[in-house]
Amino acid sequence: RVAAFLIKQHLPSAGFSGDGAAPRTPHFDVVVIGGGHAGTEAAAAAARCGSRTLLLTHRVDTIGQMSCNPSFGGIGKGHLMREVDALDGLCSRICDQSGVHYKVLNRRKGPAVWGLRAQIDRNLYKQNMQKEILNTPLLTVQEGAVEDLILTEPEPERTGKYRVCGVVLVDGNTVYADSVVLTTGTFLRGVIVIGLETHPAGRLGDQPSVGLAQTLEKLGFVVGRLKTGTPPRIAKESINFSILNKQTPDNPSIPFSFMNETVWIKPEDQLPCHLTHTNPRVDEIVLENLHLNCHVKETTRGPRYCPSIESKVLRFPNRLHQVWLEPEGMDSDLIYPQGLSVTLPAELQEKMITCIRGLEKAKMIQPGYGVQYDYLDPRQITPSLETHLVQRLFFAGQINGTTGYEEAAAQGIMAGINASLRVRCKPPFVISRTEGYIGVLIDDLTTLGTNEPYRMFTSRAEFRLSLRPDNADNRLTFRGYKEAGCVSQQRYERASWMKSSLEEGISVLKSIEFSSSKWKNLIPEASISIGKSVPLRALDVLKYEEVDMKSLAKAVPEPLKKYSKCRELAERLKIEATYEAVLFHQQQEMKEVQRDEALRLPEDLDYLTLRDVSLSYEVREKLHFSRPQTIGAASRIPGVTPAAIINLLRFVKTTQ
């Protein structure tokens, strides 16, 4: 009753109701703090799961703001977006309504590691995201800065842990909740840096969160400090694009969302990007002015894979670095120079820019800047993203030491789902490393922690041949629907149709078998003469690079024509054919480990010096300290990868 009174007293003045006329509830199942990429996914997911949810954020007009690059996706990150989409998350669908240049990265490699990526219209993304969030049933949005958490006293006879039961806003108002998700990004004690000047801010134009950072520290959370930065923005009309390399978008565009066959704008109407490079004069300006650049001198760690121009010049002197000139939007007059993140004083930034080819007359509209902020050691959270210290308190996004919109969105959706399940006393929804990149991300964070901004790469996933962007729906949609309740009926039906069509298509392709001469117009001469007498299945023919479902259906119209008509189905069948043999091998490996779970490991194994077995030093150390008794026990040590387990298993078997 007390809670009801407080909420009633304080919510109505600033609240935005997700369902228009719905009366305001005095107590929320889930409160999400922060309307960035983690917070929007968390709030929408909790609401989709059936929880009455409140999104509390500084400003409604910054919900969905892209703080840095105007793009989504990329290598590894595109996989995360497909997985978020498979769980009915928002970012992929919103990108497909706002993308202005679609390009798949890593095309020269296999489809398992293709990186779906697009330049996004920054304003359109924000508008579309706000529309989606403000129209989500069960979701209420309120402006406000959260300053403190309301906790129950620990109950020593039960868990001995605090439990969160609400939040206090900076104006003293309170909101009660059964679960709370914190997604405050770079705002915890955030400080902005340009040259030698610093001032407190979460990002340009936004106040930092200081009180909340103090609360978390007081509660005993281990806090670290990280930094990142953003490039200056340049006036489009001041750039001489005519002398630069132009990159055109893909045609056709590959949408991010499984629910879309096309994107909102045709490839021929999309915008180009341009490429230029730094030069020795840029290096000189950076090196001559290091004394004026305190962000660079700071010992806090910055993003290794998205470094500032200063870090690149210091680490790789005398090299020319790429600068991609990316559009900020369809009608935007701004260009984002990707690769030129910098914290020199503003006048030196302009001097540096104008040394670069094509930018000789460039007008800088906003200087680049750095931001330094608190993050929480992610080993303090469980795989469901709930904190070990405080029950029902969840952390997601950059607060956990990651960098990037996609990493934030992936954690956000998981935190939102789990916060909702927790309220309903249901088991947590956890994705394993063998099921998805989301599992890899959360497992890495919660078991290994991080001391530099963590970003996703395909190389972090051991089972990347099966964790492909094309099959994320098959891996996650059904679990999301049945176990979490976060997936709509429409998506479930679409995924079910695709799954059964794929299974049927593969079995038909396996059943069609002809001698090689039948396929002679499709596959290279050399392959035919080698295997002349061997019959070939249509599935094997589809593995050849030059063959696709269309050409295969021309050779055998019945029954294949039907599978070549839907572009997505045809492409997915081709990918399935490509990976059939390797995946079979990988599944055998998984079964091998399961079969030999009980195999005993020799007690005198010296893991640190062990030769003839391929194990990283990190894995050796873990095995050395834990001294597992069996292969099964070794496989459960956090950070000991499945690939390492296979190698160890085979080694032990040969020595017995």
Positions touching ligand FAD (CB under 6 A) are 33-39, 56-58, 62, 67-69, 145-146, 183-187, 202-203, 206, 209, 212, 228-230, 303, 306, 341, 371, 397-398, 403-405, 408
CB of 621 to ligand FAD, least distance (A): 29
CB of 306 to ligand FAD, least distance (A): 4
CB of 35 to ligand FAD, least distance (A): 4
CB of 389 to ligand FAD, least distance (A): 19
Closer residue to ligand FAD in complex, CB, 92/403: 403
CA distances (Å), 86 to each of 256, 258, 482, in order?
10, 7, 13
User: ∠465-544-568 over CA atoms, to 5°?
Assistant: 65
Tokens encoding 537: 């299945």
CB of 211 to ligand FAD, least distance (A): 7
**C-alpha–C-alpha distance, residues 88 and 39, integer Å:** 15
CB of 226 to ligand FAD, least distance (A): 10
* Whether the Cβ atoms of residue 402 and residue 445 lie closer than 8 Å to each other: yes
**C-alpha–C-alpha distance, residues 253 and 648, integer Å:** 43
Closer residue to ligand FAD in complex, CB, 179/183: 183
Closer residue to ligand FAD in complex, CB, 68/282: 68
Does residue 280 have a cis bond before it (omega within 30 degrees)?
no
CB of 199 to ligand FAD, least distance (A): 13
Amino acid identity at 54: L
Amino acid identity at 58: H
Closer residue to ligand FAD in complex, CB, 171/347: 171
Class of residue 68 by CB neighbours under 10 A (exposed 0-12, middle 13-18, buried 19+): buried
Closer residue to ligand FAD in complex, CB, 372/466: 372
**C-alpha–C-alpha distance, residues 161 and 344, integer Å:** 46
Closer residue to ligand FAD in complex, CB, 15/267: 15
Amino acid identity at 532: K
What residue has token string 């149709």?
497
* Whether the Cβ atoms of residue 146 and residue 168 lie closer than 8 Å to each other: yes
Residues 6+ apart with CB under 8 A from 225: 300, 372, 373, 374, 375
CB of 114 to ligand FAD, least distance (A): 19
CB of 229 to ligand FAD, least distance (A): 6
CB of 186 to ligand FAD, least distance (A): 4
Closer residue to ligand FAD in complex, CB, 71/578: 71
Show the 3-state SS of 400-464.
HCECCHHHHHHHHHHHHHHHHHHHCCCCCCCCCCCCCHHHHHHHHHHHHCCCCCECCCHHHCCCC
CA distances (Å), 315 to each of 310, 457, 522, in order?
9, 21, 49
Q: φ and ψ at 543, to 5 degrees?
A: -70, -25
Closer residue to ligand FAD in complex, CB, 399/522: 399
Amino acid identity at 559: P
Closer residue to ligand FAD in complex, CB, 183/477: 183
CB of 125 to ligand FAD, least distance (A): 12
Report the interhelical angle of 567-595 vs 557-564 (nearest 10°): 90
Closer residue to ligand FAD in complex, CB, 405/463: 405
Half-sphere exposure at residue 224, Cβ-oriented, CA atoms within 13 angstroms: 21
Q: Which residues pair with 16 in a beta bridge?
A: 141
Closer residue to ligand FAD in complex, CB, 204/582: 204
**C-alpha–C-alpha distance, residues 123 and 170, integer Å:** 28
Closer residue to ligand FAD in complex, CB, 142/586: 142
CB of 272 to ligand FAD, least distance (A): 22
**Sign of the alpha-carbon torsion through 453, 457, 462, 463:** positive
Closer residue to ligand FAD in complex, CB, 121/470: 121
Our separate counts of H helices and E strands in the chain read 22, 24
